Amino acid sequence: MPETEYKEDVPSSDPSKVIELFDLPAWILVNFDNLDSLKRALSELTMWGEVNELLQEVPPLHLSLQDSSGGSMVLEFTDGEVIVYENPNGVLTNSPELPWHLSNLRNYVNLSPYMKETEINGITYKGIGFGSGYVGIPGDVTPPSRFVRISFLREFSNSVETEEEGVMLALHLVNTVDIPAGVSKREESSTESFESTQWVTIKGNKNLKLYFRTYDCASLFVVDLNRVDFSYGIKHESIDFDKPFSAINVCDLFSF
C-alpha cells in the first residue's frame, strides 16, 4: 500500500512531478495505459489540493481506476496522504474509505442467490419465493449500503461473453443503487436540497467505448474513442444529450 506525498499548499519541487488534485484524472489518462506503470509514477509524484471557497476545505476525491487487463486500483486522500489500494472487489463509493467497506462485507456473508430453507422442531420452512437468500441485504441509499448491494449482486450475476452483454448487466446493476430525486433530502436554512443520481457511465476498456445516460434521459449514449481525433489543436466538440423523454410506441409496429 504505497503512499504518495499530498500537500494543501503548492510545493516548490520539480514542476514535472507536481500536480493539482483535480488535474489528476486527466494526467492519468494522458500518460498511462496500465495500472502498473501508473503505480510506479505515483511514488515520485507530489499532489496539492486547493481549498474550495464554498466548502471551505480541499474537496475529497476518490478515484476508481481499471485497465484493459482487468486490474482495479483505488486512490484515496486521507489526512494529507494519498493512499493506493489494490481493489479486487472492483467496487468503490465515496464514504468512508475503501478498507472500511471491505471489512463491512463480513456482516453479509450469509447472503446467497439460492432460496433458503431450514428445519425448526421438525417443521421445514422455505423462504417466500426466489430471492429469499438476499434477506438482510441493506436497501437504503447510504454509501455503505449501496456498496454492499453492488458487491454481492455483481458477484452472483451470470457471467457475460460480449461487451453488449456486459453493458446490459452493468445497467441492471447500477439501477439497484440509483437514487431518484427527492428520496434523499436534507434541510439547509429555509431551502430543501436533495441528492440524486445525475448520470451513469459505463466504460468498455478493451474496445475503448464510453457509454452514459443522464437522469432525464434513459436512452444510452456511446462515444467510440477509436473514432475521436485527439491530435493537438483539434477543435473541441460538444455533445447535446439533453433529449426529451421518448418511448417506442408498439402500436406503430402493428397493421390495424
What is residue 61's predicted lDDT score, i.e. its pLDDT? 79
> pLDDT value at position 56?
78
Residue 249 lies in a domain: no
pLDDT at 1: 40
The whole-angstrom separation of Cα 232 and Cα 123 is 73
> In this structure, are residues 69 and 34 in contact, taking their beta carbons and an 8 Å threshold?
yes
What pLDDT shows up at residue 189?
52
Give the model's pLDDT for residue 2. 42
Task: Output DSSP code: residue 58.
Answer: P
Give pLDDT, residue 82. 82
Q: Which residues of the chain have pLDDT under 50?
A: 1-6, 11-12
pLDDT of residue 190: 52
pLDDT given at position 15: 54
In a domain, 219, yes or no: no
Minimal CA–CA distance to 131: which of 116, 145, 141?
A: 116
Type of residue found at 189: S
CB hemisphere CA count around 66 (13 angstroms): 15
Exposed / middle / buried, residue 43 (Cβ in 10 Å: 0-12, 13-18, 19+): exposed
Contact 47, 83 (CB under 8 A): no
Asked if residue 35 lies in contact with residue 73, where contact means CB atoms within 8 angstroms, the answer is yes
- Please report the pLDDT score of residue 191 as a whole number: 59
Q: What is the structure's pLDDT at 147?
A: 96
> Which residues, 6 or more positions from 199, have their beta carbon under 8 angstroms from its beta carbon?
212, 213, 214, 215
- In this structure, is residue 29 part of a structural domain? yes
Q: Which residues contact 67 (CB under 8 A, 6 or more apart)?
A: 33, 34, 35, 205
Phi, psi of 195 (to 5 degrees): -105, 150
Report the amino acid identity of residue 15. P
For the record, the C-alpha cell of 218 comes out as 434513459
Residue 81 lies inside a defined structural domain of this protein: yes
Residue whose C-alpha is closest to residue 151's, from 166, 164, 138, 132: 138
Determine the pLDDT at residue 3.
44
Write out the residue range of the structural domain in which residue 34 sits: 1-88
**188 in a structural domain:** no
Work out how many domains the chain is built from and give that number. Answer: 1
- Contact status, residue 69 vs residue 40, Cβ threshold 8 Å: no
pTM of the model: 0.83
Predicted confidence (pLDDT) per residue in 12-26, tens digit = 455 557 888 788 888
4 located within any domain: yes
Q: Is residue 22 part of a domain?
A: yes
The total number of residues shown for the chain amounts to: 256
Flag whether 127 is in a domain: no
Coil, strand or helix at 182: coil
